[in-house]
Structure 1
Amino acid sequence: MSSIFGALVPPVPLVPVSDLGPVHFIAAGGAGMAPLAELYAGRGVRVSGSDRSDSANLARLRDRGVTTFVGHAAEQVGDAETVVVSSAIAADNPEVVAARERGLRIWHRSAALGALMEPAAGAERRVGIAVGGTHGKTTTSGMLAHIFWSLGMDPGFVVGAPLATTGEAAADGTGPFVVEADESDGSFLQYPAELRVITNVEADHLDNWKTPEAYAEGFVEFAEKASCVVINIADAGAARIAATVVEQKESSTRIVTVGPGGDWWLEDECLEGFGSRATLHGPAGPIRLALQVPGLHNLHNAAVALVTAVTHGADATRVAEALGGFRGTARRFTPHGEIGGVRVFDDYAHHPTELDVTLHAARVGVGDGRVVACFQPHLYSRTRDFAEEFGEALALADECLVTDVFAAREEPIPEVDASLLVDSCRRAGGVARWVPYDEIVASVTEMVGPGDVVLTLGAGDITQMAPRIVEGLRRTRESHGRA
């Protein structure tokens, strides 16, 4: 599929939302588009949108006065003056073709989001905060949104998944505006954010960036566009970005580091069941962190979020208290239920490092039980490029069920399929087998017992399996006469 923008999305000059005229969103029901369409409608913009199928998101937009269409057709662009698309929309989409023929403004969703961060005519500019990194963007940006919301700062935010505390993935408040900045297609360079965050940097999305070096250079540019950047130097890749920015003497970016030898650092990290705690040291003195979310990675995410909030002017102690109430975001170690002592969680982990930290967290929380991983690889190119790393991570589970690759935007690659990961997991000493997608529930219910933890893992539609597994366990238990 050929995107209208090519592999990487170039930044464009932004126009105030009030000057865009009617706006049409293509793929308006998507998780990244629907919140933007809703925020635009909330600002009084006449909004329309289309998607290939109906959904709860489209229904919600209709309830908020947005004109929606199921399917794509040129006439649905209507009298729009601006058309918003994502990288997943093909250049031959009939609505894109119509917009081009009419000479309309065609924006990537990142430009539409960036415009929301710009002040209206005569209004005071508010602080923009962009959270970037290979992993942890959604959680860290969600933590920041939760912090500012808890402190009564009325934040604007657009993050990759709804907050557990508010149920919303976006809001258009008057305070600081927090965005999750996606590097996969280069669009993280679009945002007018003077305060930026880098959680970690590890080669990914090489189908777009081509080389690890180009990918890392993208983060250098992301950092140098900021007045201030908070960087987690506990991560080696992010530490190299910090060092590169420092070495480039012409850069005026202020760098705040979090990690060993940095301006702030963690000590006494401790994982307790599906929670975690640590002490954060720095200019504000020792601060106790006690989180309701699992894993060492979330302690690092929380440390970066706290430092970012303090850099913006918040009180460190109050920020730590707010973080204690953070219960995560959707699809990040999200609990779906417990039946007969078997707990079922769903997680977005789709990169080897994400699988590693998620499965380690599950291992701590499960106690004497077993960890059963149900993994759906995402993208043929990623499956091919990181096959051995995936196997090593999946071997952390007691048993791993691997289903077929979720293609997303890609065409199949010959000889790249789930068997690559099954074989690499076995080479790493793990127990793995291929299971067809429709047989996951039956396979899980046959193999688990009290005390076990089941994780559905991946960025595709594997998330739909978590509630089905819970229901399958319930039916099995009822059939055996145990309510």
Structure 2
Amino acid sequence: MNDAAHDLHAPHFIGIGGAGMSGLAKILAVRGAKVSGSDAKESQTVLALRELGATVQVGHAAENVPDGASSIVVSSAIRADNPELAAARERGIPVVHRSDALAALMGGRRALAVAGTHGKTTTTSMLAVALGALDLDPSYAIGGDLDAPGSNAHHGTGEIFVAEADESDRSFHKYAPEVAIVLNVELDHHANYASMDEIYESFETFVGRLTPGGTLVVSADHEGARELTARVAATAAQHPGGLNVVTVGAAADATVRVVSVQPRGMTSEVTVVLDGTELTFTVSVPGRHYAHNAVAALAAGVALGVPAAELAKALGAYTGVRRRLQLKGEARGVQVIDSYAHHPTEMTADLEAIREATTGRVLVVFQPHLFSRTQQLAEEMGQALALADSSVVLDIYPAREDPIPGVTSELIIDAAHRAGAEVAAEHEFAAAAEVLAKLAAPGDLVLTMGAGDVTDLGPEILRQLSAVAV
């Protein structure tokens, strides 16, 4: 656990309740580290960390940093003027980015890193659950909580470590995996990337970090992924120990070819051809994109030596991850499902999946995420909402960003209207829940969509539905 560059025997996490930070804190606590941290509010995650022995303060203050802290762990979301970060610098305590901490945790394990603009959390989760079902007990660090076993991280006894690799701030350049998955490559995170060329260069750097003789599993269908494959192929001979490239998808030239994806309500039956053998297995979430995520997980596991037939069957043990088309409940014959989708590609994929899984109307409450993303992709977001029967759009969730003049949810609403969609603005959470509850009828499906706190609307919509007179 001790690393010459990153001493993690007594780490203090600023923002310890976040999806990525809490996972690392959990693993370190289980490994015996004296973990402390702070977060903006109480949460189930904070309570779980305390149960593991971590000391967690609510609110950020210089005095939260314990005298014995060996390092301060931060994410890119932590601002330079955070009082705990300022105190650490004044006291000479080393500051460690969460990606460096994760890289240290992966040391000595067979690392498998999952990257891509979309689908990372789902694919990492699929691998974690499937490998666990095969009693391989992998360690994992995921950007979301699994439905089962109900955690975003685990310190396993096995030799495999599965990690979600985030490209948003180039932090995935810190990892050196044996196997890497790249699901897709699109322009996103506009505050950090100015062009597709910058995105490609960043992913090329990530692939270049693969261990000698490592394997890249990459989509054969996605345009950006195919371009990355071509770029990587041009330099593969220079990779130390060689580089194995496995392409997956429906394309005729795919190494692992998807023959069919058959919708079965809220599940899918997937058939692939791998090494000349046809395999059919079940994916317990709807949608073609989730089926393709599962196939990428299958190919990556096989690259680590897991038998394909066993892994294909084990992938059926995956039942979902929180906020990825997660059923929140049902009231008066209306299902309420939560989606983390916040990029137009993700929004379109989830809406298409829901369309295949239901015969009723699809009603959406969408919360845009980040001013910079909205500024660049408002037109495409509006077009995606045209796939719903009716939508309510909330104000932009700022996360780590300051407002940009002239950038509001109205940009998305105007684009949606141009696409022929039925969309309205709503500025208050409680009002949005009431609107959806009154609009929904038995057989309809309500989708709360976005990467911010729109997820909190699900229970309130269900409560309002139950309160509406039939």
- Please state which band the TM-score falls in when normalised by the shorter chain: over 0.9
State the shift of 1:284 in Å.
Answer: 5.5
Instruction: Output one character per residue of 1:87-129: Cα deviation in whole Å (capped at 9) or x when no partner.
Output: 11111111111211222211111111111111xxxxxx32001
Q: How many residue pairs are counted as aligned between the two chains?
A: 458
TM-score (norm 2): 0.95
Give yes or no for contact 2:130–2:317 (8 Å, CA) kept in 1: no
TM-score normalised by structure 1 residue count: 0.92
The answer for the alignment partner of 2:24 in structure 1 is 36
The offset of 1:213, in angstroms, is 1.3
The alignment's C-alpha RMSD in Å is 1.5
- Moved >3 Å (runs of 4+): 16-21
Per the alignment, residue 37 of structure 2 pairs with 49
Q: In the alignment, is residue 359 of structure 1 matched against residue 351 of structure 2? A: yes
The more displaced of 55-64 and 215-224 is 55-64
Instruction: Quote how far apart the aligned CAs of 1:349 are.
Output: 0.2
2:215 is aligned with 1:197: no
Indicate yes or no: 2:97 matched with 1:116: no
Secondary structure at the counterpart of residue 333 of structure 1: strand
Q: Give the corresponding residue for 1:384.
A: 375
Specify the alignment match of 2:393 in structure 1: 402
Please name the residue that 1:178 is paired with. Answer: 162
Q: Distance in 2 between matches of 1:232 and 1:77?
A: 44
- Contact kept in structure 2, 1:194 and 1:225, CA below 8 Å: no
Is 1:306 matched up with 2:298?
yes
Deviation, 1:159, is: 0.7
Matched, 1:418 2:377: no
Distance 1:19 1:26, change over 3 A: closer
Unaligned runs of 5+ residues in structure 2 are: none
- Aligned mate of 2:129, from 134, 143, 146: 146
- Could you tell me which amino acid in structure 2 is paired with residue 46 of structure 1? K
Q: State the distance in 1 between where 2:440 and 2:461 align.
A: 11
What is the letter of the counterpart of residue 132 of structure 1?
A
Cα offset, 1:17, TM superposition: 9.9
Matched residue, 2:238: 250
The DSSP-based 3-state class of the residue aligned with 1:208 is coil
**Structure 1 letter corresponding to 2:125:** G
Indicate the residue corresponding to 1:132 in structure 2.
115
- Equivalent residues of 1:27, 1:33 under 8 A apart: yes
Partner secondary structure for residue 112 of structure 2: strand
Match of 2:138 among 155, 171, 190: 155
CA 36–424 in structure 1, closer or farther in 2 if over 3 Å, else same: same
CA distance in 2, matches of 1:289, 1:56: 34
The structural deviation recorded for 1:134 is: 0.3
Q: CA deviation at 1:315?
A: 1.2
Aligned to 2:77: 88
CA deviations 1:221-268 (Å, max 9, x no partner) are 111211211111211111111110001242332211112102111012
In the alignment, is the contact (CA less than 8 A) between 1:391 and 1:424 conserved in 2? yes
- Displacement after TM superposition at 1:377 (Å): 0.2
Spell out, residue by residue over 1:311-352, the C-alpha distance to the aligned partner (whole angstroms, 9 max, x if none). Answer: 111111111111122111000000011112111100100000
Q: Return 156-165 or 299-308, whichever deviates more.
A: 156-165
Q: For residues 231 and 393 of structure 2, what CA distance do their matches in structure 1 show?
A: 39
Amino acid across the alignment from 1:380: F
In structure 1, runs of 5+ residues without a counterpart are: 1-13, 119-124
Structure 1 match to 2:215: 228
Contact 1:203/1:216 (8 A) holds in 2:
no
Contact 1:17 1:115 in 2 (8 A): no
